[in-house]
């Protein structure tokens, strides 16, 4: 085999391997699943807490932790001023963002849109986001399953 033929075959083989890796990366994988683990080792279902004196101080601000996005949707420190849903879009698992001007969650990958309670407003997603419980005690917000 001549050097030129060898390099040509090596290049085609390498390209096939790279294409295979790219296709596999497009699918969802359990190891990269950003949804929270139900076994969070604290035995009370709490996923995380937020100190409202330092974080989520303005309407529209959000925080992502443990596969959940929590957003301040209104002024005040009642639980009704916040919402928490899974951060992974139900279409292909891309992390969603909150758009304060529209008052909805939007997936930057394919444009799915969800209400503050996680309901699908615009596809291609067809399944609602999981909604989490939000409780406020003083200046501590707790998100739980």
pLDDT tens profile 36-53: 443 334 446 788 999 999
Domain boundary assignment for the chain: 1-29, 33-144
- Confirm if 46 and 144 have CB atoms less than 8 A apart: yes
137 or 26, higher pLDDT: 137
- Of 69, 79, 65, the residue nearest 100 (C-alpha): 69
Q: What is the pLDDT of residues 4-21, one digit of tens each?
A: 555 455 444 444 333 343
Residues 83-133: pLDDT tens digits?
Answer: 999 999 999 999 999 999 999 999 999 999 999 999 999 999 999 999 999
* CA-based nearest residue to 145, from 134, 122, 136, 137: 134
Q: Considering the domain delimited by 33-144, tell me its CATH architecture.
A: 3-layer Sandwich (2.102)
This prediction has a pTM of 0.70
CA dist list (Å): 109 to 2, 34, 59:
45, 15, 25
């Amino acid at each position: 085999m001549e050097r030129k033929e060898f390099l040509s075959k090596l290049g085609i083989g390498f390209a096939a391997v790279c294409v295979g890796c790219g296709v596999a990366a497009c699918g969802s994988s359990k190891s990269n699943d950003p949804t929270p683990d139900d076994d969070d080792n604290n035995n009370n279902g709490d996923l995380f807490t937020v100190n409202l004196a330092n974080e989520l101080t303005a309407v529209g601000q959000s925080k992502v932790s443990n596969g959940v996005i929590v957003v301040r949707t209104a002024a005040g420190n009642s639980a009704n001023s916040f919402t928490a849903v899974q951060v992974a879009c139900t279409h292909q698992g891309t992390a969603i963002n909150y758009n304060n001007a529209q008052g909805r969650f939007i997936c930057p990958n394919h444009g799915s849109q969800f209400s503050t309670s996680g309901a699908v407003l615009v596809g291609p997603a067809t399944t609602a986001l999981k909604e989490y419980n939000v409780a406020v005690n003083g200046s501590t917000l707790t998100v739980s399953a």
